[in-house]
A and B are shown apart, each in its own frame.
Chain A
Amino acid sequence: MVKINGKDINTAGKSLLECLISINFDPKRVAVECNGDIVPKAQYDTFILKDGDCLEIVSFVGGG
Chain B
Amino acid sequence: MIPSEKEMRLALEKRQGRKLTQRYSDAAVAICGLGGLGSNIAVTLARAGVGRLILIDYDQVDITNLHRQQYKVSQVGIYKTEALYHNLMEAVPYTKLDIHNVRITEDNAAELLKDADIICEAFDDPEAKAMLTNVVLESFPDKYLVAASGMAGTGSANSIRTRKVLKHMYLCGDEVSEVNEQTVLLPSRVMLCAAHQANAVLRILANEFET
Q: Is B110 an interface residue (CB 8 A)?
A: no
Q: Is the beta-carbon distance between B134 and A61 smaller than 8 angstroms?
A: no
- Which residues between 26 and 64 of chain A lie within 8 Å of chain B, taking CB atoms? 28-31, 33, 36-38, 40-41, 56, 58-64
The CA-CA distance from A37 to B150 in the complex, in Å, is 25
With known contacts A60-B126, A63-B124, A31–B133 Cβ distance under 8 A: yes
Q: Is B141 an interface residue (CB 8 A)?
A: yes
Cβ contacts B104-139/A at 8 Å (1 or 0 each): 000000000000000000111111011001100110
Q: How far is the CB of B2 from chain A (nearest CB, A)?
A: 32
Residue of A nearest to B135 (CB): A41
With known contacts A29-B127, A30-B130, A61–B166 Cβ distance under 8 A: no
Q: From the candidates A33, A41, A62, name the one contacting B166 in the complex (CB within 8 A).
A: A33
Q: How far is the CB of B156 from chain A (nearest CB, A)?
A: 17
Cβ contacts B145-180/A at 8 Å (1 or 0 each): 001111110000000000001110101010111111
Q: Is B46 an interface residue (CB 8 A)?
A: no
Q: How far is the CB of B182 from chain A (nearest CB, A)?
A: 12
The CA-CA distance from A40 to B180 in the complex, in Å, is 29
Q: Is the beta-carbon distance between B148 and A64 smaller than 8 angstroms?
A: yes
Q: From the candidates B124, B130, B141, B185, name the one contacting A38 in the complex (CB within 8 A).
A: B141
Q: Is the beta-carbon distance between A62 and B134 smaller than 8 angstroms?
A: no
Instruction: List the interface of chain A (C-beta within 8 A of B).
Output: 28-31, 33, 36-38, 40-41, 56, 58-64
Instruction: List the interface of chain B (C-beta within 8 A of A).
Output: 33, 35-38, 122-127, 129-130, 133-134, 137-138, 141, 147-152, 165-167, 169, 171, 173, 175-180, 185, 190
